[in-house]
Amino acid sequence: MGASTENGGSSASANSKLAEADQLKQEANTAFKEKHWAKAVAGYTRALEANPDSAILYANRAAAHIRLENFGSAIEDGTKAVELDPNYIKGYFRRADANFAFGKAHLALADFRRAAKASPRDPDLRKKLAACEKEVKRLKFEEALAAPEAEYVPAWQQVDLASMTIEDNYKGPSMEGSATDGYTLTLEFIMAMIESFRKQQKIHRRFAFQIVMEAQSALQALPTLVDIPIEDDAHFTVCGDIHGQFYDLLNIFEMNGFPSESNPYLFNGDFVDRGSFSVEVILTLFAFKLLYPDSLHLARGNHESKSMNLIYGFDGEVKAKYTDTMVDLFRETFCWLPLAHVLNKRVFVVHGGLFARDGVKLEDLRKVDRFREPPEEGLMCEALWSDPQPSDGRAPSKRGIGVAFGPDVTRDFLTTNSLDLVVRSHEVKDEGYAIDHNGYCITVFSAPNYVDQMGNKGAFIRFTGKDMTPQFTTYDAVPHPEIRPMAYANPFLGSMLGM
């Protein structure tokens, strides 16, 4: 009798747990449908605590992680789903989605093929398989055509500005000068260019190429780690990710003033991709960099890279608005962007975050050879990809690259380098910024309502030289023309990310 009661109690408890997990799953599903991705992840996590053997819950959580760009976590969840149920097609599907979005099409292909074999009539799956096969073929073709390093001709050497005639029917803004004597960039030209961009008009390719080529020369002259002094009575503004949201960039300038010698800025990476006005953003920032080289500073983000630009839209946008040669010119120019800045010897500013080992000094960063595509490990990779975590120590990154670093890591880095604060970007925040690690690590993200669906505010930080205390300004997104984010990206990726 006692044993029967015990078994009955155990069964009732198990049923109760399953019912709890199902209720939590339904709540998480609702959050997912409403595009509250972080809330969905938290809900699926609670459901898994009640039912840790559910392949469905892991696959669902993987889908939410993908929307948050936590591709490492999504791959782990997809793997766990297929371990629990090798016949569960969505587990392979989700892992493939995450690998494709992470730029690992060759890994995604095997999972897409396995899923398609088990479910051959699924139209969405067939489209994704075809897109992945096409991408793998393109990568192999590109690899086969790649010239040996000794034979490589830089894009800037392939550009002949003198041959780019300004046609008589061109009505857009023009730089001062002439084709014979050369053209000079002025503030008047920049402001006219911005107004043309606002009306969705292009500038002539002659001027666009000149801006990028001159920006490359200016960036080459900079060190990998840039020191920026700020006078006691001066101010300095730091902005985070812009991601091709040109009209929100203009809103920042309308609120805080255009860049000038008395109104300096640092834009902390990820100028391009996602938003469909990335060309307008980067040409505007490069132009101001040329006009005010000591007052407009640019740092490299993880999206200033070939692999990200191929996937998330910048390559396609540049080709649509200009030429393939300009794509190559941007790639080379991005490789010369500095990796980090130090403000007034007190504030360390980097796109991603800190490092996988203790004791990293500023001198170590100064020695990094940055003219390359980002590697998958090491200081350069971590500077571009890492994120803070609430607990001490380090952990594998939810992104699948870089590292998650805790408050103790931040304290150690600041103490080692006699610094006061770390400022980084790289992550969407509801209020546009977040203060972590007992106030020693700040995230600033300047693209409000990211990809037209996150609902977040944007923010920028203003410092004054005397005390270097951060002051935050937050703002909502402003209207933009009816061109959706990811309009120039792989259509498969846009559908996968809910756009």
Active-site positions? 303
* Burial of 468 from C-beta contacts in 10 A (0-12 / 13-18 / 19+): middle
* DSSP SS3 for 153: coil
Q: Which of 204, 223, 189 is nearest to 291 (CA)?
A: 189
From residue 182, alpha-carbon distances to 156, 174, 193 in Å are 17, 12, 18
C-alpha atoms less than 13 angstroms from C-alpha of 369 in its C-beta half-sphere? 3
Q: Which of 447, 1, 19 is nearest to 243 (CA)?
A: 447
Q: Which of 42, 60, 54 is nearest to 17 (CA)?
A: 54
* DSSP SS3 for 176: strand
- The answer to whether the beta carbons of residues 406 and 391 sit under 8 Å apart is yes
Neighbours of 367 (CB within 10 A): 12
User: How big is the chain by its Cα radius of gyration, in Å?
Assistant: 24
415 φ, ψ to 5°? -65, -45
d(CA 186, CA 125): 52
Three-state SS string across 389-429, please? Answer: CCCCCEEECCCCCCEEECHHHHHHHHHHCCCCEEEECCCCC
Classify strands 458-464 and 471-475 as parallel, antiparallel or unpaired.
antiparallel
Neighbours of 231 (CB within 10 A): 11
From residue 324, alpha-carbon distances to 276, 285, 316, 329 in Å are 17, 21, 9, 9
Indicate if the alpha-carbon torsion angle 196, 200, 204, 206 is positive or negative.
Answer: positive
Classify strands 235-239 and 265-267 as parallel, antiparallel or unpaired.
parallel
Give residues with Cβ within 8 angstroms of 304, minimum separation 6: 269, 270, 271, 272, 334, 337
